[in-house]
Amino acid sequence: MADRKIIAVVGATGQQGSGLVKAILADPSGGFAARAITRDPNSDKAKALARLGAEVVAGDVDDEASLTKAFAGAYGAYCVTFFWAHFSPEKEKAQAAAMARAAKAAGVKHVIWSTLEDSRKWIPLSDNRMPTLMGQYKVPHFDSKAEADAAFAAVPTTFLLTSFYWENFIYFGMGPKKGPDGVLGITLPLGDKKFPAIASDDIGACAYGIFKGGDAYVGKRVGIAGEHLTGTEIAGAFSKALGQPVRYNEVAPEVYRGFGFPGAEDLGNMFQFNRDFADMFCAARSLEVSRRLNPGLKTFSAWLAENKGRIPLE
């Protein structure tokens, strides 16, 4: 362990962080060691990471001192926030700033900050094509991460632009649902535009590639995706994997915003932002760069082959 560079991973028991921990542990001769940060080192998930060979330490993004302690002695830190746990851009920005200060105090050499675009650069608040939310955002969970980028200016940071996870089809209630005629359909406001998305584990695996690349990535923005697919192509892959027809139900963003589940407006704006600026979104998330960082990068069909049994079909 002493001769290996420690990567401290925030959110290690979650989707992005666990992918990074697993990628580090899967490469024992890679020169890196995984330090998993969790609020509860005694949880089943934390214990499972310890059994796999990760060092498990306590840390909470709401407690800066705990982060400084958890980052001590680490070469690298993976920093991610948890918007959907609280729906608060202000909290997300405060947590990101605390992580950045802790990384600086601990002398971390390479931070990866999991961020997203500021939608307001493309759709100013005065643009009425989508509603302004919470008084000052178009896509709150994007805009707050982008605002938090500034907090990382004082530390050697790679700004990692992530993509929509295909796991949302399992956990976020976005999977195929039966219509009145009994035929499955996925409902998304994407028009006929390409939409970058990824297997969540591949985010961590790409991040590992960035840590291995070291200084070459410091100060850079790197976007990643597993594939760029239209709604029709997503539905087609589902149909093939599930062995039954799955339709793409295209809806207007305003319809999606009105679905009423927590975060529906934010996500409706997000899909519209993706749709209306699809070329920019895809260009910022090169499949070639993603595959170079992570040669095991999965396509949607490969992800479906592994995960189709976990997708609830309602």
Minimal distance, residue 217 CB to ligand NAP, in Å:
19
Check: CB of residue 17 under 8 Å from CB of residue 49.
no
20 or 235, CB closer to ligand NAP? 20
Nearer Cβ to ligand NAP (184/267): 267
Nearer CB in complex with ligand NAP: 4/221: 221
Q: 3-class SS at 36?
A: strand
Least distance (Å) from ligand NAP to the CB of residue 279?
A: 19
Query: Which two tokens mark 39?
Result: 């609020």
- Strand locations in 144-216, DSSP E? 157-161, 164-165, 177-178, 184-188, 195-198
Token pair belonging to 92: 């997300």
Nearer to ligand NAP by C-beta: 247 or 285?
Answer: 285
Task: State the minimum distance, in angstroms, from the CB of residue 150 to ligand NAP.
Answer: 17
In the β-sheet with 227-229, what is the strand arrangement from edge to edge?
A: 164-165, 195-198, 227-229
Residue among 87, 99, 118, 94 at smallest CA distance from 17: 99
Q: How far is CA 295 from CA 3, 162, 181, 202, 206, in A?
A: 26, 17, 41, 10, 9
Minimum distance between the CB of residue 15 and ligand NAP, rounded to whole angstroms? 4
Q: Pairing state of beta strands 76-79 and 55-58? A: unpaired
Q: How far is the CB of 221 from ligand NAP (least distance, A)?
A: 15
Q: Name the β-bridge partners of 9.
A: 36, 78
Closest to ligand NAP by CB, 13 or 158? 13
Q: 230 vs 274, which CB is nearer to ligand NAP?
A: 274
Residue whose CB is nearest to ligand NAP in the complex, by number: 14
Nearest approach in angstroms of CB 45 to ligand NAP is: 6
Q: Would you say 38 or 230 has its CB closer to ligand NAP? A: 38
Which of residues 57 and 241 has its CB atom nearest to ligand NAP in the complex?
A: 57
Residues that bind ligand NAP (CB under 6 A): 11, 13-17, 38-40, 43, 45-46, 60-62, 80-85, 141, 162, 164-165, 168
Report in angstroms how near the CB of residue 214 gets to ligand NAP at its nearest.
23
In angstroms, rounded to a whole number, what is the distance separating the alpha carbons of residues 157 and 60? 20
C-alpha neighbours within 13 Å on the C-beta side of residue 311: 21
Strand order, beta sheet including 177-178: 177-178, 184-188, 246-250
Q: If phi over 0 gives left and psi between -120 and 50 gives alpha, with beta otherwise, what is residue 135?
A: left
